[in-house]
Structure formats: structure tokens, C-alpha cells
Structure 1
Amino acid sequence: MAPSNQERQAREARTRLRDYQARQTAHSEKVRRRVRDNVIAVVLVLVVVTGAVLAQIFYFSGGPGAPMAAPSATSTPAATPPPSTLAEGRDWTGTLTINDIPLGITLDGAAAPQAVSSFISLAQSGFYQGTDCHRLTTSGIYVLQCGDPNGDGSGGPGYSYGPVENAPADNVYPTGTLAMARQGEKGDSMGSQFFIVYQDSTIPSDSAGGYTILGQITSGLDQLQAGVIAGGTADGSPDGRPATTATITDVTVQ
């Protein structure tokens, strides 16, 4: 017996309901997957951003500059740093020569008297001659670190000093900044190591403050970029020994 018109209509209604429910289920699953994918994407972005920030904090929590070691055979032993009056409260000019590339420098003896006094004393004693710039950072922050007689970040002049002087309030170190390296959280751990900022860098402060700005590179930075920095690090990482050995051949100040 053929189904009645009423039965056919009921069957079609049930079919339409099933189709509607199937479409709703598919739509709900698509929305759920989209929300899940968006959440995963946001989490990945947060992980990348957090990793970049932590990489900066991790690098500078140890300095720049590892703990100061006992005086090496190439250091000039001294129980205490030179008096801050050596800087005379004035600007100093000079030349920092790396791989025969002369970098013009100015030092701010009024804003950073202790740091400038120490740098002048070490430069005039010949302490820096023959030392290598042992660390290059090419991501997040952009610095070349120099001044360690051991050549591995562990050396110093046989003394340390602090606190931090002349650090920027906004943690921004413009291209050409010449600043002192130190241990993280220890403002009195400065010695002979310093760093050259070759590209604008934001360097987080810690409980000791920022990093003492000695002065500025006034010329020659382009040549240093081409001759040393462009070569990257020896192992291709964003933080390591420069692939091109960078040796300080002379430092003069007046």
C-alpha cells in the first residue's frame, strides 16, 4: 500500500530536520576548530614574544660580562680602581682602534666620572692593547663586547667598581653608544669590559639599574660594521664570538 500524502510529508520533514541538524553540527565543529586554531595561534605568538624578551633578559642578567676573575697575566693588578677625579669632570676625545679600524670616541667625564676615570687609566697603561672583542650579539640587542684580557668574558683589571652611572631612563641605547659591561643585579661589578652598540637597542634594567654610558663612537662605526659585525658569529648563533677576530690594537684619549 503506497504511503499517504501525510506520511510522505512527515518523512520529508524528518529528512529536512536531519539535514538541518547535520549542517548545524558541521557548523559548530567548524567554529570549534576555528576557535581552537585561533587560541593556538595566540599562544604561539605569546611564546615567541616571551622568548624574545626572556632571551634579552637572560643575556643581560649575566652582564654583559661574566663575573670578574682574578687578574690575569696580561692585566695590571690594582687593589682599587683609580679615583673618579681622574676624569676631571670634562669631555675626553680619542681613538679606539679595532683591526686597524679607527673609531673616534668621546667620553663624558662629568656624567660618568668613575667609569671614565677607570677607562682612561686602563687605556693609558696599555691594558687594552692586544685584547679581543669576544662577544657579538646580533638579535634583540646589537652589541659588540670588548675589553677582557682573558678573551672569554671572565677577565678584568683586578678590581671592580660601582654603582651604575649615566644609564638611560628609558633603557634605550642608541647606535654608537659606548657603555660598561657588568654582572646582572650587581652594579659594583664593572671592571674593564665594555660594549659598543652598533644598532639602536633596548636593554632591560635590573635591580642595579641600567648600564653605565661612557660616551659615544663618533666615527668609524660603518667600517666596523662592514669589517667585523657583518660576518656574524663564529657558530652562526645570535650571541657568540665574532666570526672575524676583532682585536684592539690601540686606545688613545686626551
Structure 2
Amino acid sequence: MAVDRRGREMRRHISQIEARRELKRAQEKRRRKDSTVAGIAAAATLALAVLLQAVWFSSDPTAAEIDALEESPGVTETAEPNSANIPDPSIAEGKVFEGTLSTSIGDIGVELDGNVAPQAVAVFSSLAEEGFFEGKTCHRLTTAKSMGVLQCGSLNGDGVGDPAYQWGPVENTPADGLYPAGSIAVARGASTDSNGTQFFIVYKDSQIPQNTGGYTIMGSVTSGLDAVQEVAEAGVEGGGEDGAPATPVTIDSLTLQ
């Protein structure tokens, strides 16, 4: 009887040990599964952030969307090399170009300064000389309290950049993110090497987030800023603070000397 009792106790003890081992194996399996799920979730979050950034920049974000995107974690980007047909900055170094942006709302006097942004001025003076801007539109107006710009120069008038014509770097960006009224700056996508043919005119003092590297200020408006301000007063087509201007703006030419 004593032997049988000890046998039962031994078997019960062994069963308890096996049960604990099984529980430990189950816990380890669950932890591995949780780690895998967490890894998948993290990867999905990163992919979503990258996708959001790509879509956001190609569709011209609002000021509120700027803040939302820049708070997104895990955003990465890969800069592409400059296009082969980008003019050398040496053609604008030490030079100041003055001229006129002729538009459907009147003439706007401009000055592009190759002393502070030689690469940008080299690009835009070359595009002007080629007549690139003739017939192009100003497709985007922002009327937010913190940011007021009129953006122009899209290849097809839809705000999408030309992937075959991208360049960098970003130059002459304000450290405090304040773009004074009358500034002429280069629009770009997510990468600091994604400048293209688009530019924007700042019609009122604007605070623009700099977390993605800022935007090159290449010059300023010397006359006619009031015409842009009148477009801003007319507002955005369909209402809102960001979209096509209710007063259409077409560029006739950009001439520089």
C-alpha cells in the first residue's frame, strides 16, 4: 500500500512537472507569435508612413496635413541622383537676374539671386530661356492663417512633378521656417533632391514646417505682389483653404536678364 501510494505521488509529481513544461512551451510559443505580430505591425506602420508621404507630396498637402505627416514615425526616403540635363550652378553663381513673370492677372516683377541659390537660379533661368513656362498654370493656392502661397509651374497643370527632371540640393532655407511675403521659393517632394520645375510665390508672411528640409528661397517679387494677393482674396475654388484658385492664373512667359 505504501509503495502504491508513493508510486501515485511520483506519477502526480511527474505529471505536474510535465504540465509546467507544457505551460512554459506554450508561453514561449505565444511570445514568439506576439513578437512576430509586433514585427509585422511595425513593418506595416513603416510602409503606410512611406506610402502616405509619397501620396501626400504628389497631391499638394494642406498646412494641417504637413503637421500630421511630419509627426508620422518611421518615414524614410531614398534620394535619387540629379537628372543628366540639369544645368550647372556655375552659370548663375554671383549673378542676380531681374525680369518679369507675365501672367493672366498682370505682370509680376521678379528677381532671382544666384548668390544665395545658384543651383535653383541656374535651373529656372534656363527653363525661362527655353520658354518652358509659357502656357503653364498656377494650380494651387493656400489661404491658411499660417501659410499663404500660390504655386505654379507644374508640367501638366495637375501639381504632379516630372520624375525625369529632379534635382537638388535645397539651398537658402530659413532656419526658423518663416518665409517673408514676396519670397519666391522652389516647390519639391519628400526628398531634398526632388526639386523640379514648380515654384511658389509667398503672398503673405508664412510659417512653413522645416522638418523635411525646407524649401529653397531663390528670389523675390519686386512688383505686382498685389495681383497675387487679389487672387488669394478671391479664395480657393469650391471653398476651403487649399486647392485650385477661384481666379485661374496662367503664365504667358518668364523673362530674365
TM range (shorter): 0.5 to 0.7
Is 2:236 the partner of 1:230?
A: no
Is 2:178 the partner of 1:175?
A: no
State the AA in 2 paired with 1:249: D
* 1:157-236 alignment, distance < 5 Å: 158-184=164-190, 186-207=191-212, 209-226=213-230, 228-236=231-239
Residues 214 and 58 of structure 1: CA distance in aligned 2, closer, same or farther (over 3 Å): farther
Which segments of 5 or more consecutive residues in structure 2 lack a partner in the other structure? 1-61, 72-82
Is 2:101 the partner of 1:91?
A: no
Distance in 1, matches of 2:63 and 2:159, equals 22
Deviation at 1:59, TM superposition (A): 8.0
The root-mean-square deviation of aligned C-alpha atoms, in Å, is 2.1
Deviation at 1:53, TM superposition (A): 7.0
1:126 to 131, 139, 155: 131
8 A Cα contact 1:133 1:248, kept in partner: yes
Normalised to the residue count of structure 1, the TM-score between the two structures is 0.68
Tell me the alpha carbon deviations over residues 152-185 of structure 1, each in whole angstroms, 9 at most, x when there is no partner.
Answer: 111338311111100011110000000000113x
Q: Secondary structure at the match of 1:193?
A: strand
8 A Cα contact 1:165 1:213, kept in partner: yes
- Identical aligned pairs, as a percentage? 51
8 A Cα contact 2:150 2:228, kept in partner: no
8 A Cα contact 2:98 2:111, kept in partner: yes
8 A Cα contact 1:175 1:200, kept in partner: yes
State the AA in 1 paired with 2:242: D
Distance in 1, matches of 2:238 and 2:70, equals 20
Distance in 2, matches of 1:170 and 1:106, equals 23
State the AA in 2 paired with 1:241: A
Deviation at 1:223, TM superposition (A): 2.2
**Aligned residue-pair number:** 184
Tell me the alpha carbon deviations over residues 123-150 of structure 1, each in whole angstroms, 9 at most, x when there is no partner.
Answer: 1100001001000000131000000021
Which segments of 5 or more consecutive residues in structure 1 lack a partner in the other structure? 1-51, 62-77
